[in-house]
Amino acid sequence: MNDKLALPVGTTLDRFIMRKQEEFPYASGELSQLLRDIALAAKIVNREINRAGLIGVTGAFGNQNVQGEEQQKLDVIANIRFIRALRNGGEVCAILSEEEDDIILTGNNKGKYIVAIDPLDGSSNIDVNVSIGTIFSIYRRISDADLGSTPADCLQKGTCQVAAGYIVYGSSTMLVYTTGHGVNGFTYDSTLGEFFLSNPNIITPKTGAFYSCNEGGLNSFPDGIKNYLEYCKNEGYSARYIGSLVADFHRNLLKGGIYLYPQTAKTPSGKLRLMYECNALAFIIEQAGGRATDGTKRIMEIVPSELHQRCPLIIGSVEMVNKVEEMLVKEEALHTGSI
């Protein structure tokens, strides 16, 4: 009876990180601290999102970011919060933010890590109370610390990531991350101010019954993608598209499904950003047993040539991604006359 009166609350994120530190590449404590810094910023951003309607920070800020997209007030707030936390933490020598034109040098010249971040994915949905999120990638610097951060540090391919994750701010706030040893999810308890392990060792189903795609652009999709979407309908799959990448990805990760954001006639290179969105989610899905491709190539093997490089993204359950690639290859062969 007494045990039931004081049930354990579970494993906190801090304690989990400490237990797993030996799995981190070059384990010496810095990466552990860096993950804690990101978690701290996530708690602050979560607070700002929850009270946004009360303090008047919903809606557009009035500027466009480097992507040519209208910045929301919460985009600006989240960007400031994460940059400040990462700079003050001291472990990061440079930050790449989707909201900034150039590399942000933190002044921590001895810092061993580079962070690429989308501070607030799907922020335009905040006005209608839809789930939004943060996506981050962590890379180990490859330059000599005495030389300061170099462009080579900031343009590493996805296979060089030492950690990646995302935070989804929804009906509950969750932080999901990997360091290359599986994927674990933590749910935020606002009454205690802590993230607790809620989804250990996440494995995504090999196939699913959900597909996520903005079919408003269907007419300009590659024929292979059109064929796959028709296949989904014939198979009775359910369309689930929130318009917030983190939210769509999170659902498919847990339940099984596929997310498609292909190139179009208007955006021949795709629309999503390789460094801020695609690489991180590709690392996570592969660690969970899924796949991520641009249609012809593994996402994490793409060598970036610029900070804000765009990329098509097909990501999710392995059998579903394989099916898309099969249809794209077949359609390409028809067009080239090789079959």
Which residue intervals of the chain bear CATH 3.40.190.80? 210-336
Asked if 95 and 275 touch (Cβ cutoff 8 Å), the reply is no
Give pLDDT, residue 55. Answer: 45
Q: Residue 286: name the closest of 315, 309, 328 by CA.
A: 315
Residue with tokens 């509950």: 172
Superfamily of domain covering 2-199? Fructose-1,6-Bisphosphatase, subunit A, domain 1 (3.30.540.10)
Q: Which residues carry a binding-site annotation for substrate?
A: 121-124, 214, 241, 259-261, 271
Instruction: Return d(Cα 41, Cα 51) in angstroms, integer.
Output: 16
Q: Which residues carry a binding-site annotation for Mg(2+)?
A: 98, 118, 120-121, 277
Asked if 260 and 224 touch (Cβ cutoff 8 Å), the reply is no
Give pLDDT, residue 321. Answer: 98
Task: Take residue 86 and report the two structure tokens written for it.
Answer: 């990462």
Whole-structure pTM value: 0.91
pLDDT in tens, 83-113: 999 999 999 999 999 999 999 999 998 899 9
Asked if 273 and 256 touch (Cβ cutoff 8 Å), the reply is no
Task: Give, to the nearest 10 degrees, the angle between helix 318-336 and helix 223-234.
Answer: 130
Residue 40 pLDDT level (bands cut at 50, 70, 90): very high
Task: Take residue 300 and report the two structure tokens written for it.
Answer: 């994490």
Mean of per-residue pLDDT scores for the chain:
89
Which residue intervals of the chain bear CATH 3.30.540.10? 2-199
pLDDT of 59 over the 50 cut? no
Task: Take residue 228 and report the two structure tokens written for it.
Answer: 């796959």
CATH architecture of the domain with residue range 210-336:
3-Layer(aba) Sandwich (3.40)
User: When comparing pLDDT for 63 and 213, which is higher?
Assistant: 213
Q: Residue 264: name the closest of 313, 334, 317 by CA.
A: 313
pLDDT in tens, 268-314: 999 999 999 999 999 999 999 999 999 999 999 999 999 999 999 99
Average pLDDT over residues 57-78: 62
Task: Take residue 329 and report the two structure tokens written for it.
Answer: 């290859």
pLDDT of 124 over the 70 cut? yes
Q: What is the dihedral sign for C-alpha 37, 43, 49, 53?
A: negative
pLDDT in tens, 221-273: 999 999 999 999 999 999 999 989 999 999 999 999 999 999 998 899 999 99
Q: Which residues carry a binding-site annotation?
A: 98, 118, 120-124, 214, 241, 259-261, 271, 277
Average pLDDT over residues 321-335: 89
pLDDT in tens, 133-171: 999 999 999 987 766 677 888 999 999 999 999 999 988
